[in-house]
Structure 1
Amino acid sequence: MSIRHLDRLLEPRSIAVIGASIRAGSVGATVWANLHVGQFAGVIYGVNPKHKVLGDVAIFAQPADLPEVPDLAVICTPPETVTGLIEELGRLGTRAVIVMTAGLSAEQKEAMLKAARPHVLRVLGPNCLGLLSPHHGVNASFAHTDALAGNVAFVSQSGALVTAVLDWAKSRRIGFSHMVSLGERADVDFGDLLDYLASDSRTRSILLYIESIEASRKFMSAARAAARNKPVIVVKAGRAGSGLTAAASHTWALAGSDIVFDAAIRRAGMLRVETLQDLFMAVETLARFGTNRDEVLTLMTNGGGAGVMAADAAALAGIKLQELSHPLLTQLDAVLPPTWSHANPIDIIGDAPVARYTQTLEAVLQDRSSGAVLFMHAPSAIVRSEDIARACAPIAGEATSRVMACWLGDAAVATARQVFDQAGVADYATPEEAVRAFALLATFRRNQALLLEAPTASENGPPDLIAARASVEAALDDGREMLNELEAKAVLTAYGIPVVQTLATGPTPDAAAAAGRSLTYPVVLKIPSPDISHKSDVGGVSLNLRDEGALRQAAAEMLERVRKLRPEAPIAGFTVQSMVARPMAQELIIGASIDPVFGPVLLFGQGGTAVEVLGDRAIALPPLNRVLAREAVSRTRVAKLLAGYRDHPPAKLDAIYDVLVAVSQMLADLPELAELDINPLLADHEGVIALDARLRVSRKQDAGAAHFAITPYPEELAETVQWNDETILIRPIRPEDEPQHRSFIEALQPEDLRLRFFSVRRELPRSELARLAQIDYAREMAFIAVRNLPDGTSQTIGVVRAVIDPDNVDAEFAVIVRSDLKTRGLGRILMRKMIAFLSGRGTQRMVGYVLRENEAMRKLARSLGFEPVAAPTDADAVFLALNL
């Protein structure tokens, strides 16, 4: 990932149009005209050997003839010219190019990138519409109109969508900080622009139109970083599910690409919407109503029909309508006619005068338990909508974080809508749209919360990796991809997942009967075969066999049936297992597979033989912990059954979460793991037990932590070191460390906090603490020093942190040690650990700001080789750097 020279692309001081023209309908002519019509304050050059002038502007034959090196060049020439132009521009010193040219072959694109690479010349495109940066007066595109300046950035994989959104937004006076058409994304892609826009002061929210993602880890890392700073809202094409191809595995068949993308968006803290209309509705909601944190909604209307429509929409979206409190009912009875609804929705009756509106709105807002308020009005001949709006706007304007408005109609309510708009109240065209916006906001809050969770550790102990690998390697050594049932269950057992006792037998009824004598009846008989993915499809499972005679008969009938239906399938024998009697249990499925874009993924849902028909499943991206596992489970319908009902007590949910965490760890540890189904996994109040497991391995090794879309915890960086007279552990920080980190911060002296954070701070807010503990290891590292206490607990005694820029050039560090342990060499140990880590990942410099009065830190830095660097900085601080 890189943001190198993206400022030249999005905020250029000079622009050259290669292929500038006045030929009507040509790209070169349109770009040339758009740049001159705009308010660009810099210099615009034209390059075209066929022209001396265009209008009254001198045109140059080639880039080398230009009087200065342009920051940005826009190429509108044939495919065969692009590589040569890139090479020439890079040599001159241009660092950003937009290639609008379409039709480049794969070889031409590779040659273009090869020419750009030595100069770190950034390429947008090819085959793109260009970009618009309205605050800088830049319209380097062939769009049909200019954009208004605003605080929304729109990045699109489709140029046509840029023009459509541009037209739509301009008619509604919506402005943009940047609009970018990515085209074929040969160089600059979503990840690069997310990194840039995340810190762009003119951008308050980021909108993405996505058709496909290639570099999933880069995208996820940039998306998670951007979503921490500002709302990121996504529309993705391809929801219809072309990725839902049939496969042998339940999990693989269910884990289609679009639902995996959904899981990725959720995990990154972004919000996905289904339509472009919803995209801008979400922008409106987040801009004007985004600080709302209410989970319930109160409806206020002058017409029963509008209230019913809103209530129906709320029910379908899972939004709770708040029951009116007794004090509020009493207050409303005093100002409303006897025929009012006396419930939520609050119907104030169609003949309501202005005073009835204001009194009702004030009463509802005074009662904090009413949550968010949807104010709805349908025009009538009794009182003008404009008068109602002018009376209610001051009330609603004082509570914009709680009020949503819906003025039903068009011309009759246009002025009223404008009055509320000027008061800063979020406005929606229909009740359903308003409720959908409230539901989107709730989803956005949940997604954001995943970025701030402090997970607890799984109760599973460390896996028996030797035993798990033995089963995997046994299958691969035999030339098999499918593990047999015993091997698959051995892998589960190695990861602490309870499995039912299972015995393997020969392929005869006598052998099955012999195995049955080692178990307690009733038993289950199965016929495993590497060619039969789902045994029940061919009658390969017999349940509840109560004695040896029933077992023998079932074995004989099963052999005959399977040989008839699948004569080609090899049958090495049977498996016999105890019949598990758990009448209160739910049948679940937990699985894993490899998505072609996002790599290893997990599945959870309702299990059994009808798993595809039920379609009740949730997808999650590893690595997982209990918090993330709980969130995945909560997205399924079976979660309601697991919570308990009637005579069914709640299931032991932590046991389910730990199976998901164990499978996540399996995916990290076993790169050969291609598909896994645990189906059914029985879950009840006693815990869980796996009745069957199907596991496929592959020498391609597409699993493993290296293929995770989200960088997992780097366990290998932990080490024990000798510090004075004790042994301590230096390891990367984990999300689970948040409580321990809070204790560490609270133990610091105020003066040490001031030297670390450059301000007087008594405590850190929960959100900041969570961010300190839950980091993206792809772009940040924090090593903590941990000592063991006599009572068996551990204690954080120091931390060093480095935030690495997207180009891996500079890493800004900070270090702090417990106040009572300073001057004992711990800071040096931590700094050396970070220096070694950054050197190993190829970072060029380690830099940091240190207060001039912090002589101890400056002395430590000097002893490690840091030197002061001239840089714009606060007069009270020194900028230090160490070349790595």
Structure 2
Amino acid sequence: MSIRNLDRLFKPRSVAVIGASEQAQRIGTRVLANLAEGGFDGVIWPLNPKYDMLHGLRCYPRVAALPGAPDLAILCTPPATIPGLIAELGARGCRAAIVMTAGLGALKGGGGRSLRQAMLDAAKPHLLRILGPGSVGLLVPALGLNASFAHIGAGAGKLAFVSQSGALGTAVLDWASLRGIGFSKFVAMGEGADIDFGDLLDYLAADNDTSAILLCLEQVSGARKFMSAGRLAARGKPVIVLKVGRDREGDADAVFDAAIRRAGMLRVHSTEDLFDAVETLARARGQRGERLAVMTNGGGLGLIAADALLAGGAQLAPLSAATAERLRQMAAPAANPLDLLADAPVERYAGAVAALLGEPQADALLFLHAPTAMVPSLRIAEAVAPLLQAAGKNVLSCWLGGSAVAAARQLFAGAGLPTYDTPEKAVHGFLQIAQYRRNQDLLMEVPAQLPAAPERAAARAVVAAALAAGRRELSEMDSQAVLAAYGIPLAATRVVADVEGALAAAAAIGYPVALKASAAALGRRADVGGVVLDLEDADMLRAAAGAMRDRLKRLRPDLAGTGFVVQQMARRPEAQELAIGVHNDAVFGPVIVFGQGGLAAEVAADRAVGLPPLNMVLARDMVGRTRVARLLAGFGQRAPADLEAIGRTLVQVAELVADLAELAELSINPLLADAAGVLALDAHIRLAPPRPACAMAIRPYPQELEQTVAWQGGSVLLRPIRPEDAPQHLAFFNALDPDDVRLRFFSAMRELPPAQLARLTQIDYDRAMAFIATRAGADGQPETLGVVRAVADPDNFSAEFAIVVRSDLKGKGLGLVLFQKLVDYFRSRGTAELSGEALSENGGVQHLVRRFGGEVLPRDEAGTVGLRLELQGTRPRLC
């Protein structure tokens, strides 16, 4: 739904407990006790007609008897009472409720509706937000609010924890209490009938009391909302996800992995990892590479760390000649792992730490230490902690042991240095930093230019014709026609009815050719001898066709009269066989699978999953996550494959998925890849009824919003911004006068940092929009002339906008054209208003807003004004 009224849930001034009791084992008894004993300084109203007083508080018989409308109501009553109570609370003015009662979905109420649906219907007219049903409740420790029936409370902290499972949530409370971990918010979501993960991510992303968000989930509903909220939250703070209930086949789990990676979040696989990741990421510095330097006072510890590093896919950092010489001068071995031995003096520790911190080829340092009788651990910690604390790179540590290293471990923890119990845990922390960085890079990197625009009309015509004929399986030629429309290279192919047709097709294509049986019902043709390769001439082709007919007559008499496929023989001895597939996931919609192809594909199980849409950065990431990527990089005398061509093919497939809502399955196998590029040999497409527009987890580029308009005696293209627009957007920024930069960004920025450039060009089309005006420049390349953008709040009530036109084009009406485009778009999506902020001296944008019928409003902050435009019937005044 939205974040509307969630403040009533997390910051209530009054709480009503409906179903409060004093009977042991009743949920209402425990909830009231937790509220009363937790230190909440708001008003608590117990409700139960059986009591006059409960827990020293006046008890009310019904909602109507309350002194006022509670900000938050907690319902612990039988299922049949819930819809009526929600309706009564909503009418009274309550806007948030926790429904602890479970099982509403399985029970029917009036009109045949489930009690769960009746509850939602009762809440809707009042915008009353519901946590649950089946929720254990929530805690906000800083407010003393324990609105739960958990057996234990929580300390205050900066972590927000959200769990679908109440049992897991209460277990985590226990676990965290033993370790002194506190929370800003602790939420047991229950069934999530109304308030779901997307709502909570949106709320917590803007919560100043929360520095990291932890999610424990079993399943996701509303994939697009979840992805949109997750991507926004992950740009501002770490979001760490533990999913329980893994898919036995692994397919759905691989899709979930891809979604978390794409959103810039980090997935972990145990409760312990969940909190270790917070410890690690909260103290992590920026890190670009994945090369680790290891320093220890025991060779065995170093080997354990190296083994764990290798198993995690990272590497030890090579030491430069300069670092090796520094180490030799202090009588330390020039090796990584660096073993200082048990008797090393404190001075050698400090010198070695300084040397490894200065090593340019090491991206992070792991400090391992076991206690010895020669040098007290605390003395070593006191000597090296200041050096490590001041380091410009990530430092992880492990003080292995018990009481002998407890003081040293405590000193490191107090210095803000991540400290672990074992070398394996320390290496795992480093790997978490590396994976989190990779996921964040997918949000921030600027991709290369897109391939040429596809021939969408041609592909749609093929699909429309097949559906009109009642066919869900495209023929081989139709499948190839669709791929060809998207620029995917294909081997020349003909489908024929008989041997004579095969001979004519081969003559047209040119020998050598491959011959295949054409019946789609055959399945894997090679299994029944339905594929013959390297046919050099007509005699070989005629003999092969006759033998194939005989085999089919014997093995598949129902298909004995099938035709043939004649295909250009691709003689590319150094090519790797790859496969690209598309299928629909039940939660995240269409997904793309890439990996090894050919007959070995099923056995090798070497594949990476990605969510469309893709760009070249995302496509390269998919390729890099497969084992076959090592072969594609070249080996021995074999040249590297054209990775750009592979990436383009993945992007083209992703565009095809976005454009063709009827696509149910696609398979390209094999796709040959070598230094000369790629070539698709086999393709299969299956159709289904069109999926809804929201089925894709990430909204693709909205091509339908492109519009060519007349301007200044010529024309410009107005279209949504794309990540690939980054180079021309940077040129656009550089062409702005310093004063225009200051008016737009409220500061005298001299350059646009890469991270901000990525944020400006990589937008979530589901909640934001940026339109650019573009045309071909003097050099024939596209140039950006102006941009207008707005980001809608999660309720879609208000969208905050900004606009800027290239300085040399001001005063020519381009801002009017761009702003009209923005107004029309946000009005069409039901947004109530556009709002903004401007410097008082920025008369241009104030005049623009007034021209559209908007308001310029005073603000408390000196030198600024507010801008507001209602989006109902607004049109610019032309004079």
Q: TM-score range by the shorter chain?
A: over 0.9
CA contact (8 A) 2:445 2:758 kept: yes
What TM-score do the two structures reach when normalised by structure 2?
Answer: 0.95
Q: Is 1:536–1:609's contact at 8 Å kept on the other side of the alignment?
A: no
User: Does the C-alpha gap of structure 1 residues 570 and 808 become closer, same or farther in structure 2, counting only changes over 3 Å?
Assistant: farther
Cα gap change, 1:291/1:316 in structure 2, threshold over 3 Å: closer, same or farther?
Answer: same
Q: Which moved more, 1:34-43 or 1:718-727?
A: 718-727
Q: Which residue of 1 aligns with 2:300?
A: 305
User: Does residue 1:777 correspond to 2:768, yes or no?
Assistant: no
Q: Is the 8 A contact 2:293 2:316 kept in 1?
A: yes
In the other structure, the counterpart of 2:868 is 881
Amino acid at match of 1:828: L
What is the 5 A alignment of 1:318-357?
318-336=313-331, 341-357=333-349
What's the counterpart of residue 48 of structure 2? 48
Shift of 1:862: 1.3
Q: Where does residue 221 of structure 1 map in the other structure?
A: 228
* CA shift for structure 1 position 421: 0.6
Return the letter of the residue paired with 1:259: A
- Find the counterpart in structure 1 of residue 828 from structure 2: 840
Deviation of 1:875 after TM superposition, in Å, equals 3.0
In 2, the alpha carbon distance for the partners of 1:108 and 1:219 equals 25
Structure 1 residues 308 and 120, CA, compared in 2 at 3 Å: closer, same or farther?
same
% identical aligned pairs: 54
Number of aligned positions between the proteins:
864
What pairs with 1:247-286 in structure 2 (closer than 5 Å)?
Answer: 256-286=251-281
Within the candidate set 691, 701, 723, 2:690 is matched to 701
Superposed CA offset, 1:528-549 (max 9, x none): 2232222123222122233334
Contact kept in structure 2, 1:525 and 1:543, CA below 8 Å: yes
Which one of 463, 477, 493 corresponds to residue 468 of structure 2? 477
Aligned match of 2:751? 763
The whole-number CA distance in structure 2 between the counterparts of 1:15 and 1:221 is: 32
Matches within 5 A, 1:173-192: 173-192=180-199
Cα drift, residue 570 of structure 1: 7.4
Return the alpha-carbon distance in structure 1 between the equivalents of residues 467 and 737 of structure 2.
Answer: 58
The more displaced of 539-548 and 162-171 is 539-548
Alpha-carbon distance between aligned partners in 2 of 1:786 and 1:689, rounded to the nearest angstrom: 34
Q: Indicate how the Cα distance of structure 1 residues 369 and 491 shifts in structure 2: closer, same or farther if over 3 A, else same.
A: closer
Cα distance between partner residues in 2 of 1:292 and 1:649: 31
**What is the alpha-carbon distance in structure 2 between the residues aligned to residue 27 and residue 879 of structure 1?**
48
Question: Secondary structure at 2:438's aligned position in 1?
Answer: helix
Is 1:628 aligned to 2:615, yes or no?
A: no
Deviation at 1:705, TM superposition (A): 5.7
Larger mean CA deviation between 638-647 and 83-92 belongs to: 638-647
Deviation at 1:473, TM superposition (A): 3.1
Query: Structure 1 681/424 Cα, relative in aligned 2: closer, same or farther at 3 Å?
Result: same
Structure 2 equivalent of residue 249 of structure 1: none
Once the two structures are superposed, the pairs formed by residues 295-444 of structure 1 within 5 Å of their partners are 295-336=290-331, 341-399=333-391, 401-444=393-436
Q: 1:294 to 1:655 in 2, by over 3 A?
A: closer
In 1, are the aligned partners of 2:363 and 2:393 still within 8 Å (CA)? no
Question: Could you report, residue by residue, the CA deviation over 1:20-47 in whole angstroms, capped at 9, with x for unpaired residues?
Answer: 1121122111111111121212111111
In structure 2, what is the equivalent of residue 792 of structure 1?
780
Shift of 1:341: 4.3
Alpha-carbon shift at residue 837 of structure 1 (Å):
0.8
RMSD of aligned alpha carbons: 1.8
Residue by residue over 1:25-74, the C-alpha shift from the partner in whole angstroms, topping out at 9 and shown as x without a partner, is: 22111111111121212111111111111132110011221112111111
Q: Distance in 1 between matches of 2:840 and 2:361?
A: 51
Alpha-carbon shift at residue 277 of structure 1 (Å): 1.3
2:742 aligned partner: 754
Q: How far did residue 472 of structure 1 move? A: 2.3
* Contact 2:33 2:55 survives alignment (8 Å): no
Q: CA deviation at 1:454?
A: 1.8
Shift of 1:669: 1.7
> C-alpha separation between the residues in 1 aligned to 2:739 and 2:191?
53
Residue 491 of structure 1, aligned match among 466, 482, 485: 482
Note the C-alpha offset of 1:88. 0.7
2:585 matches 1:578: no
* 1:538-557 mapped onto 2 (5 Å cutoff): 538-557=528-547
Match of 2:577 in 1: 587
Contact kept? 1:527, 1:571, Cα under 8 Å: no
Gaps of 5+ in 1: 245-255
- Rounded to whole Å, the distance in 2 between the matches of 1:331 and 1:44 is 67
Q: Distance in 1 between matches of 2:713 and 2:527?
A: 65
Contact 1:400 1:426 in 2 (8 A): no
Q: Report if aligned partners of 1:782, 1:799 keep a CA contact under 8 Å in 2.
A: yes
| Structure-2 change in CA distance of 1:588 and 1:200 (3 Å) | same
AA of the residue aligned to 1:56:
G
- Which residue number in structure 2 is paired with residue 742 of structure 1? 730
Q: Does 1:38 align with 2:38?
A: yes
- CA 1:130–1:808: 2 relative to 1, 3 Å: same
Is 2:519 aligned against 1:529?
yes
Q: How many angstroms does 1:585 deviate by?
A: 0.7
CA distance in 2, matches of 1:148, 1:236: 24
With a CA cutoff of 8 Å and minimum separation of 6, indicate the structure with the bigger relative contact order: 1
Q: Deviations over 1:637-661 (max 9, x none)?
A: 1111111122211112221112111
Q: AA paired with 2:588?
A: F
Gaps of 5+ in 2: 107-113, 872-879
Any conservation in 1 of the 2:788–2:822 contact (CA below 8 Å)? yes
1:153 Cα deviation after fit: 0.8
CA distance in 2, matches of 1:16, 1:569: 72
Q: Distance in 2 between matches of 1:423 and 1:637?
A: 40
- Hey, what does 2:22 align to over in structure 1? 22
Q: Give the 3-state SS of the residue equivalent to 2:59 in structure 1.
A: strand
Matching of residue 75 in structure 1 with residue 75 in structure 2: yes
Q: Tell me, yes or no, if the aligned pair for 2:578 and 2:597 is still in contact at 8 Å.
A: yes
Match of 1:95 in 2: 95
Distance 2:558 2:217 in 1: 45
The CA distance in 2 between the partners of 1:868 and 1:63, in whole Å, is 44
* 2:450 and 2:724 in contact (8 A); partners too: no
Name the CA distance, whole Å, in 2 between partners of 1:193 and 1:151.
15
Shift of 1:778: 0.8
Residue aligned with 1:60, SS: coil
Q: Which letter does structure 1 place at the counterpart of 2:851?
A: S
Quote the offset at 1:165 in angstroms: 1.4
**Cα offset for 1:294?**
4.3
Assess if the C-alpha contact under 8 Å between 2:549 and 2:560 holds in 1: no
1:389 to partner: Cα distance: 2.0
1:641 to 607, 627, 631: 631
- The alpha-carbon deviation at position 851 of structure 1 amounts to 2.0
Q: CA deviation at 1:568?
A: 4.3
Q: Distance in 1 between matches of 2:631 and 2:10?
A: 52
State which drifts further: 525-534 or 392-401.
392-401
Tell me the equivalent position of 1:463: 454
- CA distance in structure 1 between the aligned counterparts of 2:445 and 2:357, rounded to whole angstroms: 31
Contact conserved, 1:501 with 1:577, CA < 8 A, in 2?
yes
Counterpart contact for 2:76–2:101, Cα < 8 Å: yes
Distance 1:468 1:721, change over 3 A: closer
Distance 1:310 1:13 in 2: 52
Any idea what the Cα deviations from partners look like across 1:663-720, whole Å, max 9, x if unmatched? Answer: 111112211111111111111111111111111112x223x76532111111111212
Shift of 1:422: 0.7
Query: Match for residue 252 of structure 1?
Result: none
CA distance in 1, matches of 2:422, 2:369: 10
Deviations 1:822-841 (A, max 9, x none): 22222222111111111111
Q: Hey, what does 2:714 align to over in structure 1? A: 726
Offset, 1:590: 1.2
Tell me the distance in 1 between the aligned counterparts of 2:561 and 2:298: 70
Q: Secondary structure at the residue paired with 1:531?
A: helix
Q: Deviations over 1:400-442 (max 9, x none)?
A: 8432110112333222211111111101111111111111111
Q: Which residue is equivalent to 1:502?
A: 493
Q: Which amino acid aligns with 1:110?
A: Q
User: 1:378 Cα shift?
Assistant: 1.0
Q: Aligned partner of 2:827: which letter?
A: S
